[in-house]
Structure 1
């Protein structure tokens, strides 16, 4: 399908998806959500993509729900719109590849929810984060938020509707690192490129593992991890990467 509100660039096995609706602050109208759902479903099947980066560019991320669209809804006829939101969320959350979020501006309400669905979050100093649903008499998404920052902090974010700057988001563990304004995309591109050079199956299995073990008791999760490790150690890919790493270290010692 053709995309009006998303831009796609693939290089070095990294797919960069940029939300592009700058006149509306990348607000999430139904057409935008539908494109997000389809984009991530399509990318999940691509063997030439090992890592996905979701961004709104250096200036924006997403201001959240398109309030003009929500204002048209009635309680008795909101099912299709609500389902569309959650299909878009799930397409990101359960994409086969790891998804990195690069937040260059405001990520509010629905925009914040998009960042929550990603596996890793990076931000620029101009980024803002806020789960503002409570302000609009809406209930927010608590899961996977509590898994990322803990239940107590997740309650604060959800119940106060407060907006956090990038530094505070980093301190609470929601953002992994903050980059200077104008350096976000290039920095994240390098991180994604390095990740994409790893074994695609191992990346995908590690992402799945991180979701599975949260719902297991400790003994079961240790057995799951042991079994998964056994399926990779000693493989031809494992041997090749060991040989390459040893050659690289040997060359570095000679310098």
Structure 2
């Protein structure tokens, strides 16, 4: 598939996907959603990609729904358009590799929903977040939002339609860290490259585990985690990484002693 509204760069086992519809604030028209779905489905199958960064650049993330497209819809014929959104959501949410969202500006309505599907969110000081569906007489995506910030706060976000700045989004636990304007992509890129050095299968299994245990009772969850841990501990890769870490620590101690 040729991508018109997404840019892709792969380096050091990190794929950076950038929304690129600057004349419309990266608004989510049908063809944009189709490209998002195809891109993440393809990346999920690539063995040379351990981590994915999803961004709209330093200026904005996505203004949300393309209102001109939605205005054309009729209630009796909206199924195909609705499916486009949810295919894109699922492609990100269930992509095998960890997906880091780097939000450089407004992430509103459908744009906010895309950030919600990512595993980790970072923002710049100019970022804005808002689940504005209620303003448009639309129902919101509550799950996985409530899993990220709790049901009480998710209800506030959904029912008030408020716009939150990056500081408030960090305070509620929606974003992990806020970076100064202009430093987002370089900072998140370094985090992603550091993550991408880890065992690819371990990264994938950890993401899968985080989704799986949410729906398990505590006893089953503990047993699942024990089984998964047992499948990795003592492996050749585990031994190699222990040896490398111990060598690194020894070198640091020697340098400090000198």
Same fold (TM over 0.5): yes
Other-structure match for 2:242: 242
Whole-angstrom CA distance in 1 between matches of 2:210 and 2:181: 31
Q: 2: distance between equivalents of 1:252 and 1:9?
A: 34
Structure 2 match to 1:36: 36
Mapped to 2, the partners of 1:105 and 1:30 lie a distance apart of 22
Name the structure 2 match of 1:185: 185
- Per the alignment, residue 251 of structure 2 pairs with 251
* 1:54 and 2:58 correspond: no
CA distance in 1, matches of 2:216, 2:3: 39
2:57 is equivalent to residue 64 of structure 1: no
Does 2:139 match 1:139? yes
Q: Which residue in the other structure is 1:176 paired with?
A: 176
Distance 2:217 2:37 in 1: 32
1:135-185 deviations in whole A, cap 9, x for unaligned?
000000000000000000000000000000000000000000000000000
1:105 matched residue in structure 2: 105
Q: Quick one: distance in 2 between partners of 1:72 and 1:222?
A: 50
In the alignment, what sits opposite 1:216?
A: 216
Equivalent pairs, count: 255
Once the 2 structures are TM-superposed, how far is the Cα of residue 114 of structure 1 from its aligned partner?
A: 0.2
2:105 pairs with 1:94: no
Matched, 1:204 2:189: no
Structure 2 residue runs of 5 or longer lacking an equivalent are none
Q: Which residue of 2 aligns with 1:22?
A: 22
Q: Name 1:152's counterpart in structure 2.
A: 152
The one-character-per-residue Cα deviations of 1:50-84 (angstroms, maximum 9, x if unpaired) are: 00000000001000000000000000000000001
Does residue 162 in structure 1 map to residue 147 in structure 2? Answer: no
Structure 1 runs not aligned, ≥5 long: none
Q: In 2, distance between residues paired with 1:231 and 1:71?
A: 52
Aligned counterparts of 1:243 and 1:73: Cα–Cα separation in 2: 60
TM-score (structure 2 length as normaliser): 0.99
C-alpha separation in 2, matches of 1:173 and 1:197: 26
For the residues of structure 2 that align with 1:178 and 1:22, how far apart are their CA atoms? 23
Equivalence for 2:228: 228
Q: 2: CA distance between counterparts of 1:154 and 1:29? A: 26
> What is the TM-score with the length of structure 1 in the denominator?
1.00
Q: Secondary structure at the match of 1:129?
A: strand
1:212-250 deviations in whole A, cap 9, x for unaligned? Answer: 000000000000000000000000110010011001001
CA distance in 1, matches of 2:81, 2:243: 52
